[in-house]
Each structure stands twice: as C-alpha cells, then as structure tokens.
Structure 1
Amino acid sequence: MISELLPERAADAARLEQLADAGKLPVVTVLGKFNHGKSTLLNELIGQGVFAVSDARQTMELDAFDQDGVRWLDAPGLDADVQTEDDRRALRGSWEEADIRLFVHSAREGELDGSEKALLAELAADAGHSRREALVVITQIEEVGEDTLADILRVIKEQTASLEVLPVSAIRYRRGREGGKQLLIEKSGMPALKDRIAQAVRLVFAARADERQMKGIVLRAHLASAGAGRYERLKTLSAERNRQMAHFKSEFGQIQANIHKRIREV
C-alpha cells in the first residue's frame, strides 16, 4: 500500500519493516568505496578472517557475520560496479538494515570526493533524526606520514562537520596483536574504534524504539495526506464522469428526437 500511495517513501517503509523485528541483532554496516580497506577492517574488528580481502573486487553482495550479539555487514564498494547494482546493495545495507554505519575512507586517497561528501551529508542528516550512529573511519593510516595524516584528518573533519572521524590502521593492530606489542595496538586506533562501536551498540534498541515511533508517525501522516488527496481526485473524476454522462444523455436524447421526427415525416 505504501509503495503504491507513497513511492517516494519506499525506503522508510522498508526500514520500518526491519524495525518491526524486535529480536533482530544490532547491525553494523561497513561501507565506502572499493579498495579502501573495508573487509580488512571488519576482519580485525571481529578477530577472524571471515571477509574476503583482495585488490580485485570481491564483495559483491551484502556479506554478513554474526558475533557476540552483533551482525556485521560488509557492503559492496560504492562506485565499484558500473551497472550500479553494487551501489544499490550497499545503500540497502546502510539505509534499510543498518543501526550503525561505518563509512570507510583510505588515508592514501586524501580528502573526500564529491560523492562521498554527499553520502556523508545524508548519513549525518539521518543520524540527527533517527539516532542511528554514523562514524567516519579513516583506514590505512600507516601508508602516509604523520604530518600528511594530520593534514588529511583536518580537511576531512572540515568536510564531515558533525560526524565523528576515527583514524585506524588494521595492519598495525594485527601486527601488534601477533607480536604482543601493546603500544602498536594502541597506536593503531583500533581499540578506540572498538570501544566507540560498543558504546553505539548499547544504545541501538532504545534508538530503534524512537525511530520506529518517529517513522510510524511520519508514514501515517503521509498516508493520510495521500489518501485524502486520492479521495479528492476521485471526487473530481466522479464529478467529471457525471458531467460527461449528463452531456451524453442530452446529446443522445436530441439524436433520438431527431430520428423520431424524420420517421414521422416519412
């Protein structure tokens, strides 16, 4: 019914359907452009090599993994598929299913481009009224110098405005864990990111309740408006049909009268 009456609100309806599942695990979706280190980041966050890592495009579906009461989603890289099917899957994972969005951008790419800024602006706006967290994660920081990284972070923070920016190195984190080097682990930024995600996860169910109520109110209002508009259009069409029927009957009656007159004359 919503798709028919409010096609522009189909995404809200799909999200509301997700929110209706009270037992659904909190969902953390990792999204960003192809080859920015999303899958590597995810593997280190969960401590297992679950998600495929390669210089070639590997993630073409919404890959999921459940661990310790959290569902992790690895979305296809934005702009990796010229047919945009990957983008549709990535956006489904970030808009319909996700409770927490980790937007990944590689430090080696420098500042954000136009499409990334536009998407982050949408995520920030959504976070403002739905309470769904959106975090900007700058990956592969080990590939640039400290001064360069500082400049990159300064520019990106200006570009993202209200969103929190967290620089990390999944490679340093893995090396630190494997070598028992606590300083390297801390320098990787991963413990801070994991703590921040855990904090967001704890707030998911309360945020869902608020979002469900808000989206329900908005959709009901739009449905009522659309229903009223459809009713008014129906009344207009009905009146026009009655006018045309009256005109037809008048014309038909005149034709009948002319025919009878000619018959009498004959």
Structure 2
Amino acid sequence: MKINSTQLLGAYEQARAYAAIDSELATPFAPVEHVFEEKKCKPDACIMVYGVYNAGKSTLINVLLGREEAAMDDIPLTDQVTAYAWDKYSILDTPGVDAPIAHEDVTNAQMLKADAIIFVVDPLGTVEESKTLEVLVDLLAAHKQVFMVFNDKKGLSDEDYIKLKDQTREQLQRIATQRGMGNILKEVPIVKINAKRALQGQLKGKPELVELSGHLAFKNQLTDFLDGISPDDVYDRLKHQLVEFLNTQVQVLGSQKGDADITKKFDKFLRQMVRDKSRLSSDMVNEIERERQAIYDKTKRALRTSPEDCQQKIEGILQQASEQMQRHLSNRLQEVVAIAQADIEELQATMPQVGPYTHANEIPATENAPDLEQPMPRAQKSSGISAEMAAQASKQMASMVRPEHIVSTLKTVKEILPSLMKGIGPKTMEKWAGTVMTKYVPYIGTVVTVGMAVFDMFSGDPEEKAMREHMEKQRLTRERAEQQMDDFAQELADGFKQFMRENILQEIDGFFAQLNAQVDKLREGFSDTERLASERLQKWVTIQQQALSA
C-alpha cells in the first residue's frame, strides 16, 4: 500500500504542535516524536544532482530549496560533494561530468551511495554531446534511477522542446543498442525548467515568473519520480505508531465525563462529520485518479488511430471525464447531506423538550442556580450584591448548558443543509475542462507530426521494408513516437488530475467549512469547560483522519 508521506508528515507536525502545549501529552507523544524526527534526519533517499559543470545544477538545487544556498559558478571550484536537506531527501551537489579527474573520482564514489540521479543538461547541446548521454546510459546500466532535466536557459518553444526530446531519445537508443540494452526510454523521464527564472521568481516573490519557468510540471514529475522509489514499509511503520497515539487520544477525550450528556452527543456528531469529510475527499481523489487513467488511455488511442481529428476526440474525452466528475461529486454530497440530516434528527430526539422563553438570553432555572429574583435580605439590599456573590453567580451561569440554544441551532442547521450543497454545476465543469484543454492544444500538432513519421515509414517499397536495417529503424522510430504520444497523454491526464483535485477538494473544504460554521454555533450553548474540551477533541479527530488517509 502506497503511503502519502507528505500528508503523513503534515499530520505528525500538527500533532506535535498540539502536544507541545499540553504537558500531559509530553510522555505518551515522546516515542512518536522520536521515530519521526529520526526519520527526518535520515531521509529515505539520497538524490545526486549531476551533469556538465555549467548546466545549472546548483541553480536547480536552489530552486528546490527555495533559497540561494548552493554556490552558483561557471567553473568547478571544488572537489567537495555538498549535501542539502530538502523535504525528506538529501540532495547532493557534484562537480559534474567534465570536471577535473580528481573531482570526478569524488563524484563517482558518492554516486555509489545515491538512490537516484537528477541529470541536468543544457538542451541545446545535449544531442551533439555524446559523452553526456553515454554517462547517463552508464548510470542506467548501474541500475540507478535517472531523472533528466532540460535546464531551458534560452526559452524553448513547445515545438522545439518536443523535437529535442525526440532527438535525445534517438541518441539514447543508439547508445543503448550498441551496448545490448533494451528499451530504456521509459526509465528516463524528461522534463524542462528554466531554473534561473524559477529561482528569481521565488526570491523576488513573483509567482508569474515561477509559473512561466515550468516549475510546477517539474516539481510534480520529480515528486512522482521520487515517490516511486520511497520505501513505503518505513512510512507504514511510522503511520501505525502515529495513528495508535491519535486513536488513544481521541478515545480518552471522547470518554471523559462532562457536565452534560448533550455535549457528549454533540461531540459524537462532530466526529462523524470529520470522518464524512475525510471519506468524501478520499473518494473524490480516487475518482479523479480513475478518470486520469481513462484520459491517458483514451488520449493515446486517439493519437494513434485518429491523428487527423484527434483534437476533437481529446476535447470530447476531457468533457466526458468532467461530466463524470460533476455527477459523482453531486451524488456524494447528496449522500453526505442525507446522513448529516439523519444524524441531526437522531440528536434532536435526545434533546429535552424546551418551551418558549420570554427573553433571548433567559436561562431556565436549575436547582443549583442562584435565584436572583428572590428579594435580598434587608442588610444586603442596602450594601448591594457582594463581589463574591456576583462572581459565584456568574460562574454558575457560565457552567450551565443552555438546551434551548442547542435545540434551535440544530433545527436551523438541519433546515439550511440542502442550501449549503451547491456543488459544482455542469457549466463550471465544462469551463474547467476547457481550461485544461486550452493549455495542451498547442502540443497536439507537433506530437501528431512526430508520431506520423511511424506511419509514413510503412508506405515505402515492400522489399525495402523487409531489410533488417530498415526494420530496426522502424522499431526505434516507433519507440520514440510512442514515447512522445505517451508523454502527451501523461501530461494531459496529469494536468486534468491536478486541476480537478485542487478545485474539487477546495469545493469540499468550502462545503464543510460552512457546515462547521453553523454547527459550531451549538457550542455557544456549552459551558466554557465543555466548549474547550469539545474544540480540543475536534482538533485531534481531524489530525487522526488526516493520518489515517495518508
């Protein structure tokens, strides 16, 4: 089972922050903190940034760090390999492919320890520089995971980028074939970024520069690449330990005796709401992933079988996926609303029958409440109410649960629930699909042009096609063309997934934020002690659900 390590570490950080302000939790949380902090100090993968000395390796490292820490120079000045902590990884900066021999020896020694290589090149010189690509194939032969980065200093057009990728892959095929290696193209993701522009945007606080640099696509693909080599069994152990602590904490808080049974029922209702949100979010993420896979498969098929009208077909594919997302979200929200209304009805059934009150702030009398309507003894009347009596009365009134407030608020929440469920309408989904499509339309023509080279080769002389050399050329060309189509289908599907995930989860967050705002008004009827305990329990339940869904 794949663990979302970023989400798990986020849940841990929240738990650590809450535990730090509660002295009673210091001892039980200590073992959890120890294993997580140890893991953070020992990243699960060692990543080496490698390439020619002026390709922009250090600049790329600074982009990952989000600050100017790695020294950036045009010549290799040192034989040292510098390590930088990034996220849950250790990033190593190296002298480079064509550094002095002494420097390269240090780099090669460190390379044995690296789990993965970020191979940085200048795209405009890569195809002609055979030594660079031979080193990359050497790394693959040594069973290293390689992620190739075109540091686009000049600003390649999309068309030139696609053509350069194809030419680079052709060279890689040639080298691999000479060494008796099979198809290596799927083992080498290729992505471009203007590292200098991305760093400038980060340092100057200009998100438009960061976006233009290609940073988002680079970061997403690199994260997916690195996650593919992360040891999930380690994170599974960490998750189990954190969840065990959270389960105990929620159980203890949920079982504590309060001043009123009403608050216990309310907290149970609130915990169910948190679980409903977590399940809904996870369900939608899974649905988005299913649609992403469908878009990927259908887009590849359209590029292969219908190059003449594939744009229209791909538009239809995205539209169909968006409509499916809209229907699924709408149905799931309706289910959540129905469950919430049923829970409220169950909660209402346990509430005491409360009659009308004369004043909005009137509090029903109880046996323990001071009777402020009774006449004071004459001696006390003359001197007024003592400070001690006033404080006692105020304390008792603040400690009372006001059932009339809870009953009226429950009724309001139940009535407005359907109006909160606005969801995402078909027109909005259609607009979103158009937004995703517009981003990738310019690529289609070039992808089809490259892909059609395969089909053109089959229209030659039958005798020529039978020749071994020509058949080999066909095979290699087909590999590149299919990889190019795979690239486009992958990027389109990933773009849909990223866009839909951000917007749909934001919609879910908004729905539950409105619902929480209404339900939270119920706490106005609680005593100060009950209210604080309820809020505390809700925080821990939220963290618990985040950890469980990681």
Query: Paired residue for 1:13?
Result: none
The structure 1 residue matched to 2:89, chosen from 47, 70, 76, is: 70
Query: Paired residue for 1:196?
Result: 221
Shift of 1:59: 4.3
Q: Contact 1:27/1:100 (CA < 8 Å) preserved in 2?
A: yes
Shift of 1:148: 4.6
Is the alpha carbon distance of 1:205 and 1:52 closer, same or farther for their aligned partners in structure 2, counting shifts above 3 Å?
A: same
TM-score by length of 2: 0.30
Query: Paired residue for 1:6?
Result: none
Matches within 5 A, 1:244-259: none
Is the alpha carbon distance of 1:208 and 1:27 closer, same or farther for their aligned partners in structure 2, counting shifts above 3 Å?
A: farther
Matches of 2:51 and 2:124, distance apart in 1: 14
Matches of 1:167 and 1:192, distance apart in 2: 8
The structure 1 residue matched to 2:99, chosen from 72, 76, 80, is: 80
**Is 1:40 the counterpart of 2:59 in the alignment?**
yes
Is the alpha carbon distance of 1:185 and 1:144 closer, same or farther for their aligned partners in structure 2, counting shifts above 3 Å?
A: closer
Shift of 1:50: 1.6
Matches of 1:51 and 1:33, distance apart in 2: 16
Q: What SS does the aligned partner of 1:56 have?
A: coil
Matches within 5 A, 1:235-250: none
1:142 alignment partner AA: K
The structure 2 residue matched to 1:171, chosen from 193, 196, 210, is: 196
Matches of 2:98 and 2:153, distance apart in 1: 25
Q: What SS does the aligned partner of 2:191 have?
A: strand
Query: Paired residue for 1:103?
Result: 119
Is the alpha carbon distance of 1:144 and 1:189 closer, same or farther for their aligned partners in structure 2, counting shifts above 3 Å?
A: closer
Is the alpha carbon distance of 1:158 and 1:208 closer, same or farther for their aligned partners in structure 2, counting shifts above 3 Å?
A: farther
Q: What SS does the aligned partner of 1:143 have?
A: coil
Q: What SS does the aligned partner of 2:47 have?
A: strand
Q: Contact 1:42/1:51 (CA < 8 Å) preserved in 2?
A: yes
The structure 1 residue matched to 2:129, chosen from 98, 109, 113, is: 113
**Is 1:90 the counterpart of 2:107 in the alignment?**
yes
Shift of 1:112: 4.9
2:154 alignment partner AA: E
Q: Contact 2:122/2:153 (CA < 8 Å) preserved in 1?
A: no
Query: Paired residue for 1:58?
Result: 77
Q: Which runs of 5+ in 2 are unaligned?
A: 1-38, 173-184, 235-550
Shift of 1:34: 1.2
Matches of 2:221 and 2:199, distance apart in 1: 19
1:159 alignment partner AA: Q
Aligned-CA RMSD value? 2.7
Is the alpha carbon distance of 1:155 and 1:101 closer, same or farther for their aligned partners in structure 2, counting shifts above 3 Å?
A: same
Matches within 5 A, 1:134-173: 134-139=146-151, 141-146=152-157, 148-160=160-172, 161-162=185-186, 163-173=188-198
Q: What SS does the aligned partner of 2:50 have?
A: strand
Is the alpha carbon distance of 1:179 and 1:64 closer, same or farther for their aligned partners in structure 2, counting shifts above 3 Å?
A: closer
1:28 alignment partner AA: I
Shift of 1:102: 0.6
Give percent identity, aligned residues only: 24
Equivalent pairs, count: 180
Q: Contact 2:66/2:203 (CA < 8 Å) preserved in 1?
A: no
1:73 alignment partner AA: L
Shift of 1:194: 1.9
Query: Paired residue for 1:259?
Result: none
TM-score by length of 1: 0.59
